[in-house]
Amino acid sequence: MSSAEISTHHDAAHGEHHGPAKGIRRWLFATNHKDIGTMYLVFSLLMFFTGGFMALIIRTELFSPGLQFVHPEFFNQMTTMHALIMVFGAVMPAFVGLANWMIPMMIGAPDMALPRMNNWSFWILPVAFGILLSTLWMPGGAPASGWTMYPPLVLQTGDAFPFLIFSVHLMGFSSIMGAINIIVTIINMRAPNMTLLAMPMFVWTWLITAYLLIAVMPVLAGAVTMLLTDQFFGTSFFLAAGGGDPVMFQHIFWFFGHPEVYIMILPAFGVVSEIIPTFSRKPLFGHDSMVYAASSIAFLSFIVWAHHMFTVGMPLTGQLFFMFATLLIAVPTGVKVFNWVATMWQGAMTFETPMLFSLGFVFLFTIGGFSGLMLAVVPADIQYHDSYFVVAHFHYVLVPGSIFGIMAATYYWLPKWAGHMYNEKLGRIHFWMSAIFVNVTFFPMHFLGLAGMPRRIPDYSTQFADFNSIASVGAIGFGLSQLLFVYIVFRCVRGDGATATAEVWDNPRGLEWTVPSPAPYHTFEEPPEVTDGKAFS
């Protein structure tokens, strides 16, 4: 596959005369950034519900002590698949979908730089997840060793093992291609006069994210390839008997894994940095320091990986180094939170659904940040490690963090995509239900972890029963609330709401609001005039 295909004058001219292709061909051979963005978002939503369904199986089993519904083997398959699907199938593709839709429109480009590769990077995903999901029906079941795939346990996986590795490879290919496309688009296709520092925050955070993806997804591919050769080709990278070390996998995995955490959160930072100024009617506070903060977070993410493995047995100096580096991440992250608050300060705020989700993001992500700070303290981490406290922590940064960011973005840009307003009242109900249930689900998990409940167990001692019941009720509530989201989006796309204006909101900043709603199939075929780049940030 040639990865260097650039959209040409001919393609665009062709598109001008004909709209989108008819029927399935429009999607199968899609090269239009808006079509591909839509497919990514729809795929992500499907995966969100698939992974969510698995989460509900987990929470149902954990509703009360004793084993009622599933066997422990299957429970482990559910925790593993839930994580893989949510991380690689729901959160990451959702952000790539948003990038596809919005980055060209935000920088005044006619399309993504590499439209055919764009098509590839999307269509690999359904194949990858088709393979991954098919392992559920294989002898030995789906992978059950956690999404972290630690050897030697992962080598005990049944027939699913090579399929797991292959699907991870495919997900990696898709992400890397998507990331290359995004970087080339941002670097090469900005409207004349739009300097790098003048770019909107969403574009900035995605640029940084894309570089992180290119740097670490191949490392994950390397790690799982070594698992594959250990299992089938007689190497012993991770087998002590042959001079290898299972702990080395953890180091390599988390060298990927920690930047991966920021891959899932940086674009959400970008989203709320777009939304809060709009609804505060004030420019983003400290645009440049936001850029520097995001860059330093990205840099620091490469030197903190071992804080995921403080119990593995590490020299004292190593533990001290990783503790200090991890604490340091709180500084740029703090700068971002303070800047958002300063953006609201003396604004004239209104609270439409995107703003509500963004505010929920700032509140709850910060709580996840606090537990992150606690986890950085090594002696305490030894107690928290692999307990429900960690489960609470990362769900706080991923659900009301990343997922709320995606929801906020969807409500914010949906009228631009669909040409109609969504139902504001239902949107607010959706927000409040999500915000309440997310806390009911994940807040008690802090207590469970502190009281000593390990993660990834299908059954627990009776002293953990009450908080587990609360968490399970919350999870079911959160899951049902998301059906409302589907209904709202469906109604809006069908055209039930009021017709959206080009600006949609009250004088928002950014080039995407200068094109009509719904955004025409081709936008910015002539680059827009950007005189004062800063006006769009």
Partner 1 sequence: MTISQSNRQKARSLTWQLVAMAIGAFAFGFLVLPPMYDVFCDVTGLGGRTNEVATVVEEPTTTGRVVRLEFATTVNQYAPWEFGSDVDSMTVDIGGVYETTFTARNLSDKSLVAQAVPSVSPPQAARHFKKLECFCFTSQEFVANEEKQMPVRFIIDSDLPAHIDTVTLSYTFFDATKMARANVAATN
Partner 2 sequence: MIQKLCLSALAILFASSAGAEWELNMPRGVTELSAETYNLHMQVFYWCCAIAVVVFGAMIYSLVKHRKAAGAKPANFSHSMTAEMIWTIIPIIILMIMAVPSAETLIKLEDGRKPDLTVVVTGYQWKWHYEYLGEDVAYYSSLARTSVDARRKNSGIDPNTVENYLLDVDNPLVVPVGAKVRVLITSNDVIHAWWVPDLAIKKDAVPGFMNETWFRAELTGVYRGQCAELCGKDHGYMPVVVEVVEPTAFQNWLDSSRPEN
Q: Which residues bind partner 1 (CB under 8 A)?
A: 3-4, 6-9, 12-13, 110, 113-114, 176, 179-180, 183-184, 187-189, 214-223, 225-226, 234, 236-237, 240-243, 245, 247-248, 251-252, 255-256, 313-318, 525-526
60 is catalytic: no
Distance CA 303, CA 218 (A): 17
175 is catalytic: yes
Q: For tokens 């703003």, what's the residue? A: 355
DSSP reduced 3-state for 163 = helix
CB atoms within 10 A of CB 229: 14
Nearest distance in Å: CB 516, partner 1: 18
Nearest distance in Å: CB 298, partner 1: 15
CA 133 to chain centre: 20
Regarding 25 and contact with partner 2 (CB under 8 A), the answer is no
For residues 307 to 346, the per-residue mask of contacts with partner 2, x marking binding by CB under 8 A and - elsewhere, is --x-xxx--x--xx--xx--xx-xx--xx-xxx-xx-xxx
Regarding 195 and contact with partner 2 (CB under 8 A), the answer is no
Q: Which of 35, 111, 274, 352 is catalytic?
A: 111
Q: Which does 176 bind (CB under 5 to 8 A by kind): partner 1, partner 2, none?
A: partner 1
Residues in 129-188 that interact with partner 2 by CB under 8 A: 144-146, 150, 152-153, 156
The count of residues interacting with partner 2 (CB under 8 A) is 103
430 is catalytic: no
Residues in 416-475 that interact with partner 2 by CB under 8 A: 432, 435-436, 439-440, 443-444, 447, 450-452, 454-463, 465-467, 470
Q: What are 154's two structure tokens?
A: 């992962």
| Cβ(308)–Cβ(257) below 8 Å | yes
Regarding 71 and contact with partner 2 (CB under 8 A), the answer is yes
Nearest distance in Å: CB 272, partner 2: 13
CB atoms within 10 A of CB 415: 23
Distance CA 304, CA 307 (A): 6
336 is catalytic: yes
Q: Which does 156 bind (CB under 5 to 8 A by kind): partner 1, partner 2, none?
A: partner 2
111 is catalytic: yes
Q: Which is nearer to partner 1, 134 or 195 (CB)?
A: 195
Q: Which of 282, 455, 456, 522 is catalytic?
A: 455
Regarding 196 and contact with partner 2 (CB under 8 A), the answer is no
Nearest distance in Å: CB 436, partner 1: 42
Distance CA 203, CA 512 (A): 12
119, 192, 310, 439 from 265: Cα distances, Å? 24, 30, 23, 19
DSSP code string of 176-213: HHHHHHHHHHHHH-PPTT--GGGS-HHHHHHHHHHHHH
Distance CA 340, CA 284 (A): 7
287 is catalytic: no
Q: Which of 333, 358, 441, 523 is catalytic?
A: 333
- The crossing angle, in degrees rounded to 10, of helices 201-232 and 287-300 is 10
Residues in 363-422 that interact with partner 2 by CB under 8 A: 363, 366-367, 370, 373-374, 377-380, 382-383, 385-387
Q: For tokens 């004292």, what's the residue? A: 316
Residues in 222-251 that interact with partner 2 by CB under 8 A: 240-241, 245-247
| Cβ(372)–Cβ(327) below 8 Å | no
Burial of 469 (0-12, 13-18, 19+ CB in 10 A): middle
Catalytic residues: 82, 111, 147, 174-175, 258, 260, 262, 273, 307-308, 333, 336, 455
